[in-house]
Amino acid sequence: MQPRIVEVRQGVLKKNDLLARELRARFRDAGVYVVNLVSSPGSGKTALLEATLRGLQPEHRVAALVGDLATDRDAQRLGRSGARVRQITTGTVCHLDAEMLNAALADWDLASLDFLFVENVGNLVCPASYDLGEDLRAVLLSVTEGEDKPLKYPTIFNGADLALITKIDLAAATGFAREEALHNLNEVRPGIEVQETSARTGEGMATWLGRLRELAARRRLSRLGVEATAE
Amino acid sequence: MQPRIVEVRQGVLKKNDLLARELRARFRDAGVYVVNLVSSPGSGKTALLEATLRGLQPEHRVAALVGDLATDRDAQRLGRSGARVRQITTGTVCHLDAEMLNAALADWDLASLDFLFVENVGNLVCPASYDLGEDLRAVLLSVTEGEDKPLKYPTIFNGADLALITKIDLAAATGFAREEALHNLNEVRPGIEVQETSARTGEGMATWLGRLRELAARRRLSRLGVEATAE
């Protein structure tokens, strides 16, 4: 309907992809494992991230970038975990992009980190199109949202590496249909890895943290492999 | 950062505003009261709308347009209420615009309707910028989402005429802080009218339906007033 805007957006996306590729190389060189958390507003990204930052410390060195249209509430909340946290305020923009990350990280020593988490703007549409150079894109789906979200917002679920079903302590109260949710996730992203968590009760958190450690360790090994081959 | 895209967007918005103005005049002439429902994905728009369509019938003639990126699940679900329902599938677009409404309504006789509901794409950012010619923009905030959503997504709450706090049957289970939510709503939209509802238990629905009838009646009277003056 508006071909001009589509062309301009494609230009913006191409530029984003190039910068995301640079960021990915930089993250890899620094040995930091980067996780991009995407979901609707209110799916529990901040609560999950707070529990994750606390759970990985002090064993691991962790930090987070947090995207919101307005306020630095999330950064303040996450900062209480002891992790280094920086808020990115997007104004009216419905997603984070590689340039925002690049600017926010300008004065950070990435080699001093084991994990960097990026909490994207709460939105099931726009963040799907912006690669941030992350190693893992995790999409959250809370039990309170409805099991059909993957079918109605297929792009973001299709582009995710892992799905976190959050707020499982509310599964009974909301009448959550687990089989239907899993079926719908597999409909748009066959074989997607699924983890069930509750940041409030802690259920599933040990498994999630263990999986993060495993993925980061595997990435470190593959990096060493690459360097060995290059010598 | 990308001034070109901003310019193009402003052009698109201006075009949308002009068409929205035409739609508003058409709705007014036809005597149909139009409600635009906006919220995050999973706030309960479809459940609220289903209960609203059932509750207003058979006294009133009602219809709905439903926006989603993909699937016609919502239209199928809402159609069971007996109301006329049409799905608008937006592909990758994160909001409905006036042109989509105009196209979807092309073969509808608006004068045969008392209420037309528009269920927007689940998104707390993009729909804020698109006037659809509606009489009432209602923003939903479910008790499961977090009381800080108005502060973090101020534009959409600021642009709404009325806020519906949904899923109040889950208020106790989620530890919903009512006073904080009301405070935050009033922070970004002083004096906003708030209704609390549960589509599941029916709590608050009679008040909400009564308010809709009252608003539609008031609009009809003001329309008659305008016609009387014009004679």
Number of independent structural domains in chain B = 1
Amino acid at A37: L
- How high does pLDDT run on average in chain A? 92
Ramachandran area for residue B52 (φ above 0: left; ψ -120 to 50: alpha; else beta): alpha
Q: Note whether B42 contacts A145, CB cutoff 8 Å.
A: yes
Probe site for chain A from B49, B74, B144 (most A CB atoms < 10 A): B144
pLDDT, tens digit, 9 for 90 and up, residues A158-168: 999 999 999 99
When pLDDT is averaged across residues B11-19 and rounded to a whole number, the result is: 84
Question: Does B40 touch chain A if contact means CB atoms closer than 8 Å?
Answer: yes
Q: What six digits make up the tokens of A143?
A: 């039990």
> Given this model, what pLDDT does residue A231 score?
41
Q: What is the domain range of residue A215?
A: 3-230
Nearest to A140 by CA among A68, A60, A70, A208: A208
pLDDT, tens digit, 9 for 90 and up, residues A165-201: 999 999 999 999 999 999 999 999 999 999 999 999 9
Is the pLDDT confidence value at A227 over 60? Answer: no
pLDDT, tens digit, 9 for 90 and up, residues B17-51: 999 999 999 999 999 999 999 999 999 999 999 99
Is the pLDDT confidence value at B222 over 50? Answer: yes
- Residues in chain A closer than 8 A to B174 (CB atoms): 144, 170
pLDDT band at A230 (very low <50, low <70, confident <90, very high): very low
- Listed in sequence order, the residues at least 6 apart from B221 whose beta carbon sits closer than 8 Å to its beta carbon are none
Nearest to B167 by CA among B75, B25, B43: B43
- Residues in chain B closer than 8 A to A74 (CB atoms): 152
Q: Note whether B40 contacts A122, CB cutoff 8 Å.
A: yes
Task: Give the domain CATH number at B210.
Answer: 3.40.50.300
Q: Is the pTM of this model over 0.90?
A: no
- Residues in chain B closer than 8 A to A1 (CB atoms): 99
Is the pLDDT confidence value at B52 over 60? Answer: yes
When pLDDT is averaged across residues B164-193 and rounded to a whole number, the result is: 96
Is the pLDDT confidence value at A24 over 90? Answer: yes
d(CA B4, CA A11): 11
Q: Note whether B4 contacts A9, CB cutoff 8 Å.
A: no
Nearest to A161 by CA among A126, A202, A131: A131
Is the pLDDT confidence value at B1 over 50? Answer: no
- Closest in A12, A99, A144 to B42, CB measured: A144
Residue of A nearest to B168 (CA): A174
- Residues in chain B closer than 8 A to A68 (CB atoms): 152
> Given this model, what pLDDT does residue B7 score?
58
> Given this model, what pLDDT does residue B230 score?
46
Q: Note whether A40 contacts B122, CB cutoff 8 Å.
A: yes
Nearest to B188 by CA among B142, B153, B146: B153
Instruction: Count Cβ atoms below 10 Å from residue B177 Cβ, excluding itself.
Output: 15
pLDDT band at A1 (very low <50, low <70, confident <90, very high): very low
How near does any CA of chain A get to the CA of B228, in Å? 40
Residues 144 through 203 of chain B touching chain A, CB cutoff 8 Å: 144-146, 148-149, 151-155, 167, 170, 173-174
Task: Report the SS3 class of residue A139.
Answer: strand
Query: How many cross-chain Cβ pairs, A to B, lie less than 8 Å apart?
Result: 127
When pLDDT is averaged across residues A38-48 and rounded to a whole number, the result is: 97
pLDDT, tens digit, 9 for 90 and up, residues B61-108: 999 999 999 999 999 999 999 999 999 999 989 999 999 999 999 999
> Who has greater pLDDT, B2 or B30?
B30
State percent of chain B over pLDDT 90.
87
Is the pLDDT confidence value at B164 over 90? Answer: yes
Secondary structure (DSSP) of A24-87 = HHHHHHHT-EEEEEE--TTSSHHHHHHHHHHHHTTTS-EEEEEEESS-SHHHHHHHTTTSEEEE
Is A194 within 8 Å of A139 (Cβ atoms)? no
State percent of chain B over pLDDT 70.
92
When pLDDT is averaged across residues B198-209 and rounded to a whole number, the result is: 98
When pLDDT is averaged across residues B98-125 and rounded to a whole number, the result is: 97
d(CA B150, CA B158): 8
In chain A, the DSSP E strands lie at: 33-38, 62-68, 84-89, 115-119, 136-142, 162-166, 193-196
Measure CA B124 to chain center: 12
- How high does pLDDT run on average in chain B? 92
> Who has greater pLDDT, A5 or B147?
B147
Radius of gyration of chain A (CA): 18
Is A184 within 8 Å of A148 (Cβ atoms)? yes
